[in-house]
Amino acid sequence: MSVGPGIQHRRDARLERRRRRIADAALELFATRGYNATSVEDVVERAKMSKSAFYEFFTSKEDCFRELLSLEGGSLIDNVLAEAALGRNHHERLRFGITTFVRSCFERSSVARLLIVESVGLSKGVDEVRHELQAQFADAVGEEVRHAMLHDPFYADKNPRVFGRAVVGAVSDAVGHYLTHPGMDADSLAESLCRIFAP
């Protein structure tokens, strides 16, 4: 017996709400306690769901983490690239990208912690997701440098691929440090980084 589209839509929406409750609980716990200190039991207790509900959506704790990193980290990087594209020239696009990344990480510190801290060295599958997200940012920076080399003396002698990776590494490390060691706000940090990479 087939169900009508309205009934199927409501079922799908209910399933998505259940999956989201588990994912939100996992994100909060991975960010506050850390991946290794968080169990599936902790996640389902926080979500007020059953363990079987967890396994309805995820095959393992790592699968849940990988999906969160891909979706939430991907959303953060997509936002960075969209904001950077609003710049009128390479200088503005680089500054917008760096600033948006820093601000987004401070505003969405749980996602930043997954992307910058918890995902490092966790597993091959998680590393692949993290490297893909970093590559999107690095490639966008490298492309801006490639165009800027022709008319901006600051970038004339820079290798675009190396520069892109250097920006991602430095910005990620600085954000990770100041998220865990307060002492600088997002705008001050972004401006300091922009002075280095997009003067």
- Its domain, for residue 6, covers 1-58
DSSP 4: -
pTM for the model: 0.87
The total of other beta-carbon atoms located within 10 Å of residue 71's CB is 14
Q: pLDDT category, 9, cuts 50, 70, 90?
A: low
Q: pLDDT category, 11, cuts 50, 70, 90?
A: confident
Contacts of 54 (CB under 8 A, 6+ apart): 22, 40, 43, 44, 47, 64
Q: What is the pLDDT of residue 2?
A: 59
Same domain, 20 and 41: yes
Place of tokens 């601000």: 103
Mean pLDDT of the chain: 93
Residue 6 has pLDDT above 80, yes or no: no
**pLDDT tens sequence across 73-124:** 999 999 999 999 999 999 999 999 999 999 999 999 999 998 898 899 999 9
Q: What is the pLDDT of residue 3?
A: 58
Does residue 64 contact residue 26 with C-beta atoms inside 8 Å? Answer: yes
Q: What is the pLDDT of residue 91?
A: 93
Phi, psi of 12 (to 5 degrees): -60, -40
Does residue 189 contact residue 178 with C-beta atoms inside 8 Å? Answer: yes
- Compute the C-alpha angle 34/36/39, nearest 5°: 95
Same domain, 37 and 126: no
Same domain, 42 and 75: no
Tokens of residue 156, six digits: 């004339």
| Position with higher pLDDT, 184 vs 13 | 184
Place of tokens 């009128």: 88
Same domain, 171 and 83: yes
As for how many domains the chain has, the answer is 2
Q: What is the pLDDT of residue 4?
A: 66
Expressed in percent and rounded to 5, the helix, strand and coil fractions of the chain are: 75, 0, 25
Residue 133 has pLDDT above 70, yes or no: yes
Q: How many CA atoms lie within 13 A of 132 on its CB side?
A: 14
CATH number at residue 175: 1.10.357.10
Q: What is the pLDDT of residue 10?
A: 77
| Position with higher pLDDT, 86 vs 6 | 86
Same domain, 68 and 146: yes
CA distance 171 to 193: 7
Contacts of 108 (CB under 8 A, 6+ apart): 72, 76
